[in-house]
Amino acid sequence: MECLRVKLYTPTGIFKNPLSIKGIEVYPLPPYSTIIGLIYRAMGRKWNGEYFQISIQGDYQAIYRDYVWFKKYDFKKKKLDKLPLQVPILYNLWLLIHIKASEELLKEIENGLKEPRELLFLSGGEYPVKVEEVKRVKCFEKFISEEDNITLSYHAYIPKEFKERISFSSTGEGILFSLSHFYKNSQKPKTYSWIDAYYFPKGTEIYGSIILDEDNHPVFLAQPEVAELKRAEEEYVRFYAGNWLMASACVGVLKVLENAGEDIERYVEEKSLNLPKELWQRLPELYAEYLLKDAQHTLRASYEKEKDKSKFNPYNVIILRSLGDFYKNSPFTNPTLSYITKVKGVSIENINQVKNQVKSSFMEGYKYFLSKTVETSQTCFFCHERQAKNYVDATTFTPLFASLETVRNFIWDPIPICKECEFLLYFASAGFYRSAGKYLFVYIPDDLLETYRLNLVLSTKEEIEQEKLGKVLSVVRYVLDLEKQKSSWVLQNIYFVEIEMVGDATANIYSFHISPNLASAIRKLIDKYPKNLQDIFSEFLFYIYTGRSLYEFLFLLLSGFFRKESYENLKDNTIDARIIRAGRTMRYLSPNLLFFINFQEVLNMKEQKDYIDRAFWAGRALKKLYNENERTQKKLEPLTYRLLEAVRRKDKEYFIHNLIRAYLEVEKEIPYFFKEALDDKNFSMIAYAFIIGLNSEEKTKAEEAIEETTNEGEITESA
């Protein structure tokens, strides 16, 4: 078989889908549709229904998390707003593409790429794409045994069907992405077909039945969709948990069905949710019952609190409170709608009657919801199947989408949605775990049932330990308890979405991914987290989940400790301010702070506990020498400040300069260990361990144990 091999280079690339807004779900390589688009631009013509197969691999030098300006047009203010959004950007990207097509088409593609008709770009990139190679290559299918396995030298998309033929060594199962592929139709409006492919990082070893080109590059050609399945007469309504938002909605539905006594496993298949038509029709009612299930107490309590009983509205107490944050001004939450205002002022005596009234208002809301449609001929973005009857806007999911009338997003065309998927999104609020103004959701891209189970772990309230350790960690723990092989797979695929409401209709959305390194660090070290710093455990989690350095964390903590006075009036309630405040409440530095250094080094894949301990003990020994006479004792504090300043500035020379002076002061030579170990890579690790040692108290183990328990008590009181 002959393929066309193409090598492309671009200095930067960002590959996203419409839900990538706020930095969530970007692709590690361009999706198929992006490359297909580039090929047709090179040929200078439009796609005309031809099918061909394509394989995408690539490599990049680094990923930057950077801010880009997204432009939004504000219709009310009639001006173009710029909105900074954090996105991962691939830097120095090389792509290795293989294309298989009929000879005629292949020739056309070859000529097009050799002499492109227009300047080629990849979406999101600021720079043009350079075509580095266009070459015909012979490809063969070969059976590779486990002993002779081959190592991927590029990151690769491997379509799902390859997994039956190829085995992968130890590195897990890859990360599943749903990727846009060909257009389904050539005329407007265009709709994509989608392909499920696993992303495997370079370095993965593979064996089995593999297609190789003449230079031994493996080729993973994606099969275009053959024919569309006829689903019209089916008795099921299908939903597809292909992104975190739809997955949270599906989890919400599963919770509602579980509450109604349904055997939910029957309705889930990989990442799709298949509801029998009859069950689908009952869903609005079941949802109302779910929201009202423990309403007695809440209704009575808030009725007692209401001074003007005629203003008491049980609908708002139950429904609006549950749905308000996510669906502002929707048919279910707009408090001015007549079927919502009409329950105002009802008597609370017969609680069942009140609940029925709320339920019937909810059902009227559903009817009104169904009547709100927009003329469109597009296919729904979420199910890729039914005809869209609306576009998503702020009422569909307020934290993510803007109102189409006031603010139009310039990056994406309006996202079309069918009525079924639109209603389903109202279940997202049941899918998220809610606590103190924050919402949390755990998502495993290709397993809806496991996603459901993990989210149940979030909402279990049995263990008191959980509050202490943080909800996220409880999920990680649960996963680690699963059989070993499965747990490494789940941990690599899992990610968390946290939504923090910061205003009426504005929210911060964070997402974090558990990398294999992080999983390994958690597994090895989490039990050693300092007990006296429980109060900032969630700040610690924020740092590690978002990939911020724990040396920055340590710097804030030590700054709080050393400069208690200068932070006396610190009022901010930011994450960083809370860490500084925790530093202020520490009474002495204990060796348990080395935990943060050890943790960071496991994350950096450099385990050098020996160096850390030696630097700590060198610090402590120097302190002892300084304390031997009053003259040098006074110099300890300024020395600490200078050393801390040196690490903040990452100025190794200044650090060493001060270190030499410090040892001269006590007439000692600088320990040889520093000459050997203090290089650029180890600088933060050794410097922080030394500073902690230099300021730590010498105490016996028993004293430390007592100190820790009392410390804990004190912190709780002052909090």
Minimum distance, C-beta of residue 246 to Zn ion, in the bound complex (Å):
9
Q: Does position 415 bind Zn ion by CB under 5 A? A: no
Whether residue 120 contacts residue 188, with contact meaning beta carbons closer than 8 Å, is answered with: no
Question: Amino acid letter at 104?
Answer: E
Closest CB to Zn ion: residue number: 380
Tokens of 316: 């708002």
Cis peptide before 445 (omega within 30 of 0): no
* Residue matched to tokens 């350790």: 469
Q: Tell me the per-residue interface mask from 484 to 523 with Zn ion, x by CB under 5 A, - otherwise.
A: ----------------------------------------
Which stretch in 1-9, 13-21, 383-391, 585-593 sits in contact with Zn ion by CB under 5 A?
383-391
- Residue 638 is encoded by which pair of tokens? 């300024």
Binding part of the chain for Zn ion, among 209-217, 411-419, 429-437, 491-499 by CB under 5 A, reads: 411-419
Residue closer to Zn ion (CB basis): 95 or 279: 279
Please state the closest distance from residue 380 (CB atom) to Zn ion, in A: 3
Contact set for Zn ion, span 40-59 (CB under 5 A): none
Q: How many CB atoms are closer than 10 A to CB 135?
A: 13
Under a CB-based contact definition with an 8 Å cutoff, are residues 482 and 447 in contact?
Answer: no
Span of 77-85, 271-279, 410-418, 703-711 interacting with Zn ion by CB under 5 A? 410-418
Whose Cβ is closer to Zn ion: residue 421's or residue 550's?
421
Q: Which stretch binds Zn ion (CB under 5 A): 61-69, 213-221, 334-342, 413-421?
A: 413-421
- Report the residue number, 148 or 375, with the smaller CB distance to Zn ion: 375
Contacts of 46 (CB under 8 A, 6+ apart): 40, 186
Choose which of 96, 245, 268, 383 interacts with Zn ion (CB under 5 A).
383
Tokens of 319: 């429904």
Site string for Zn ion, 420-459 (x = CB under 5 A): -x--------------------------------------
Q: How far is the CB of 252 from Zn ion (least distance, A)?
A: 16
Asked if 249 touches Zn ion (CB under 5 A), the answer is no
Distance of closest approach, residue 274 Cβ to Zn ion, in angstroms:
13
Nearer CB in complex with Zn ion: 418/458: 418
Rounded Cα–Cα distance for residues 388 and 381 (Å): 8
CB 235, CB 280: distance < 8 Å: no
If one asks whether residue 380 binds Zn ion (CB under 5 A), the answer comes out as yes
Question: What is the closest distance, in whole angstroms, from the C-beta atom of residue 382 to Zn ion in the complex?
Answer: 5
- Which stretch, 18-26, 255-263, 418-426, 430-438, contacts Zn ion (CB under 5 A)? 418-426
Nearest to 591 by CA among 563, 623, 566: 623
Question: Helix, strand, or coil here: 157?
Answer: strand
Backbone dihedral region for residue 173 (phi beyond 0: left; psi -120 to 50: alpha; all else: beta) = alpha
Give the residue among 472, 499, 430 at the shortest CA–CA distance from 24: 499
Q: Which residues of 638-666 are buried (b: 16+ CB within 10 A; e: fewer)?
A: ebbebbbebbeeeebeebbebbeebbebe
Q: Give Cα 319 distance to the centre of its chain.
A: 29
Distance CA 226, CA 572 (A): 58
Stretch that binds Zn ion, among 124-132, 329-337, 386-394, 634-642 (CB under 5 A): 386-394
Residues in contact with Zn ion, counted by CB under 5 A, come to a total of 6
CB atoms within 10 A of CB 65: 11
If binding is defined by CB under 5 A, does position 382 make contact with Zn ion?
A: yes
Judged by CB under 5 A, which stretch of 145-153, 379-387, 484-492, 601-609 contacts Zn ion? Answer: 379-387
Distance in angstroms (rounded) separating the CA atoms of residues 498 and 470: 13
Decide whether 194 or 655 has the Cβ nearer to Zn ion: 194
Least Cβ distance, residue 424 to Zn ion (angstroms) = 8
Q: Which is nearer to Zn ion, 56 or 380 (CB)?
A: 380
Kindly state the helix (H) or strand (E) to which residue 73 belongs, with its residue range.
strand 53-74
Burial degree of 629 (CB within 10 A; 0-12, 13-18, 19+): exposed
CB 276, min distance to Zn ion, A: 17
CB of 471 to Zn ion, least distance (A): 31
User: Is residue 487 within 8 Å of residue 480, measured between CB atoms?
Assistant: yes
Please, what is the minimum distance in Å from the beta carbon of residue 187 to Zn ion? 21
User: What's the residue count for the chain?
Assistant: 719
Nearest Cα residue to 304 out of 291, 289, 317: 317
Minimum Å gap between C-beta 263 and Zn ion is: 25
Q: Fill in the per-residue mask, 335 to 374: x = in contact with Zn ion (CB under 5 A), - = not in contact.
A: ----------------------------------------
Work out how close the CB of 25 gets to Zn ion at its nearest, in angstroms, rounded to a whole number: 18
Q: Given the complex with Zn ion, which of 191 and 711 has the nearer CB atom?
A: 191
Residues 6 or more apart from 25 whose CB is under 8 A from it?
Answer: 16, 17, 19, 243, 244, 511
CB of 388 to Zn ion, least distance (A): 7
Is residue 418 close enough to count as binding Zn ion by CB under 5 A? yes
Radius of gyration for the chain, computed over Cα atoms and rounded to the nearest angstrom: 30
Stretch that binds Zn ion, among 104-112, 385-393, 500-508, 558-566 (CB under 5 A): 385-393
User: Which range binds Zn ion by CB under 5 A, 92-100, 165-173, 217-225, 414-422?
Assistant: 414-422
Nearest CB to Zn ion, comparing residues 383 and 519: 383
**Residue 280 sits in the site that holds Zn ion (CB under 5 A):** no
CA separation, residue 453 to residues 503, 561, 572 (Å): 31, 42, 37
Q: Using CB under 5 A, list all residues that contact Zn ion.
A: 380, 382-383, 386, 418, 421
